[in-house]
């Protein structure tokens, strides 16, 4: 038989709980944990403030864009009102017995005034007749036989196209020569 006490150490093992070195390490870790928790809380608060600031910025930006659109539209309408006034005067003169020649002069004046307003908004008519067909600025609505123009040349403009700056706001609707 073996002795059961053989495997027991001769000196009892002391528990190290309560050791000054371990207590110091725990205090350091506890202090670091509190500091990190404070940093985390501060970062969360900063994130929430930043998110709120961004939402406020976005709302202000949307309001400014809406106001700019309204202002731009208002300026354009204000520029068009004199054209409308002159058009109404022309109609009134026609109703009062103006001659066809007088009416034509009035209508031509209103057209010039309207074109001037559009040009003031940087709207320009696209030159089409006699130019090579370009799908970027023309919409082909048909083909037209022509001995005067090479194939692929615009020969009929059914509806003019317009550009605002470099942007096409309406392509010209055209017929294109098929050649001979």
Query: Are 124 and 162 spatial neighbours (Cβ–Cβ below 8 Å)?
Result: yes
Domain that holds residue 77: 20-121
Least confident of 18-22, 40-44, 83-87, 109-113: 18-22
Whether residues 44 and 57 fall in one domain: yes
pLDDT band for position 21 (cuts 50, 70, 90): confident
**Model confidence, pTM:** 0.59
pLDDT value, residue 3: 56
Q: DSSP strand E in 3-128: where?
A: 123-125
Q: What is the mean pLDDT of the chain?
A: 89
Whether residues 164 and 87 share a domain: the answer is no
Name the one residue in this structure whose structure tokens are 């002069």: 105
Tell me the CATH number at 35: 3.90.20.20
Confidence of residue 2 (pLDDT cuts 50, 70, 90): low
């Amino acid at each position: 038989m073996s002795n059961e006490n053989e495997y027991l150490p001769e000196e009892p093992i002391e528990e190290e709980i309560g050791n000054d070195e371990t207590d110091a390490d725990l205090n350091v870790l506890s202090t670091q944990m509190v500091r990190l928790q404070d940093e985390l809380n501060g970062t969360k608060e900063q994130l929430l403030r930043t998110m709120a600031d961004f939402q406020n910025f976005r709302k202000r930006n949307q309001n400014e864009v809406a106001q700019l659109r309204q202002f731009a539209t208002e300026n354009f309408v204000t520029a068009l009102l004199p054209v409308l006034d002159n058009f109404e005067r022309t109609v009134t003169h026609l109703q009062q017995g103006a001659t066809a020649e007088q009416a034509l002069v009035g209508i031509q004046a209103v057209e010039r005034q309207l074109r001037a307003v559009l040009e003031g908004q940087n709207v320009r008519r696209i030159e089409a007749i006699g130019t090579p067909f370009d799908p970027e600025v023309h919409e082909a609505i048909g083909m037209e036989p022509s001995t005067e123009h090479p194939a692929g040349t615009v020969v009929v403009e059914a509806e003019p196209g317009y550009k605002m700056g470099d942007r096409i706001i309406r392509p010209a609707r055209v017929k294109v020569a098929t050649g001979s």
